[in-house]
Homo-oligomer: A and B are copies of this chain.
């Protein structure tokens, strides 16, 4: 429970605050003092009378009531200290820096639990244990460096790892990225990443609050909560990017060994992020670059102008943007000619706009003005400006500074000369700007942002899905495992998913009667053995009752045969839909073309149930083989709308049947008019 005492304490006590700034207890006091904390700072240290100029109490008993307590003492002393502070001193917020809790031993976990219980009983907030603290513009309660530039519209950064937070801040500082708050949740005993997001969402003030959130996540402990509040914040105008470390199998091993948390399956994370509209990043460099982009005005389109005084970086930037599906449109016409006439001979305005190495600050300003006012196609402007060391760049960067303030279109500064023009870049950053020193890193981050969809609609498409009846069927199933084909049929019928007509029976007469009714050709499959084709249990293209009878007799002799299924044989291209239940996340739904497309090419896309129509279409259209569904030269397409509908209906069904652990519809047969499930398997586990 995040409260005022945590965010804006009138008084802070550091239990274990010391004079040794080479230890956390001293460093955190130094940071709070250097951060200009305007409330009352108190220290408890049995051995000192004064710590860094602040009076030190020798014992908690001497303390006046205090809002926030920061504990930097051995873990075994923490529970009692928290008890006394909460009970006697009215402390309503705790930041526990100390390590040696649940992340290390079972005894530590008990200490942690005791602290949590006390906090819950007293309605107190708890950050940590095992963290670097909390930093905002009011109080710098972290023991680490660097302290980034702070700005109320800067980034809110929430990290699942303290050390990683420090390294991310290092990467941010050189870019000039400003922060509004830094949260290191440590073991997250009470307040996890999701809880911080929830607080920000529920208390969001669009005027005052920062619109940019960066997350470093090692374990998604509450996927639903993350999804709900992240997408809610994004809908309110926020922009969120996150690293979820542990995306590979070996990476997950590392994450587990590090945090003691069980890593979530990566495809679930991927699907969750897409559903929420969170931009996924894979490195500190990428996260802070995306963060810097987020501090600029949002992009309204995909067309970029590049103003540069060096050709090469302009070309590399153009290449990287094109690779990411972004455009550097050719600029031509009278306005372009006019611009050219205002630059030095040899300058190029076709885009990249190359003002030449000798281009002046004035040229830079003019080129930006033309992009802002005259070139209507252009949505945003990159400016590449460095120096070979002949002149200082203060003037040029001042022009850039003014244009960034003036222009409506976002301007991305790419200032590569961190060495030769170090002081000029530093002054530019001091004015509140960010800098992208490598143009391709910037383009890659932009691509990552542009390909992240908007948050999906949170509403579930219920139309025509008979949930009560489905629940009844599931409830009636007594045994775990693959359920009977006729139950699959019933469930699909309730969900409005068309299946090819079929009958399962051990009576030859019943089956031939069924075949007569639906019409030949039919398919016969043995029921019982799992790998039917391996045992000769599948016969296609049966054209007559006689033929069917013969196959019936043959198949019933196969070991394990219980009955025969007869299906109407239909034609079409093979499609595939699969689903897998991921604990805590829910069902991951996969779609793609069947056969080699799934098995060899692994050309599938995934989403997290429940899925909206928009999501289903986006899944289908992101397939590499989408052109086949759409129809290529000379080949008719498949009914995409019906395919999407089945994906949506299935995902709705799954949302209400967490007992379904695995589901495959393979194949569905599709043509221009229809998409029909031919074979489906459902495995449940209660």
Contact = CB atoms under 8 A, between A and B. Distances in A.
Interface in A122-169: 132, 143-146, 160-164, 166-167
A527 B144 CA distance: 79
Nearest to A286: B440
Nearest to A257: B348
Taking each of A160, A258, A388, which has the highest tally of chain B beta carbons within 10 Å of its own beta carbon? A388
A621 interface: no
B388 A163 contact: yes
Nearest to A440: B283
A391 B416 CA distance: 31
Interface residues of A, number: 97
Interface string A550-581: 00000000000000000000000000000000
Contact of A251 (B315, B348, B633): B315
Contact of A167 (B164, B167, B386): B386
B312 A419 contact: no
A258 B357 CA distance: 11
A346 interface: yes
Contacts of A600: 624-625, 627-628, 632
Contacts of A596: 625, 628, 632
Given A253-B350, A312-B167, A320 B285 contact: no
Nearest to A329: B250
Contacts of A216: 312
Contact of A166 (B173, B259, B388, B603): B388
Given A163-B309, A257-B348, A285 B248 contact: no
A366 B632 CA distance: 62
Given A143-B388, A320-B282, A390-B27, A315 B255 contact: yes
A285 B145 contact: no
Nearest to A147: B389
Interface string A591-632: 000001001110100000000000000000000110110001
A146 B312 contact: no
Given A144-B388, A218-B315, A601 B599 contact: no
Interface string A324-335: 000110100000
A145 B27 contact: no
Given A163-B312, A441-B285, A624 B601 contact: yes
B352 A254 contact: yes
B311 A174 contact: no
B257 A310 contact: no
A312 B168 CA distance: 10
A103 to B, nearest CB: 7
A533 B220 CA distance: 56
B282 A389 contact: no
Interface string A357-387: 1000000000000000000000000000011
Interface in A1-49: 21-24, 27
Interface of A: 21-24, 27, 103-104, 132, 143-146, 160-164, 166-167, 170-171, 173-174, 216, 218, 243, 245-251, 253-255, 257-259, 282-286, 306, 309-316, 318-323, 327-328, 330, 345-346, 348, 350-352, 354, 357, 386-391, 416-420, 437-441, 596, 599-601, 603, 624-625, 627-628, 632-633
Give the top 5 A-B pairs by smallest Cβ distance, nearest first. Answer: A164-B312, A145-B389, A258-B311, A283-B440, A163-B310
16 contacts: A22-B390, A132-B388, A145-B389, A146-B419, A163-B313, A163-B357, A167-B312, A167-B416, A167-B417, A248-B319, A250-B330, A251-B318, A258-B312, A282-B316, A282-B319, A596-B625
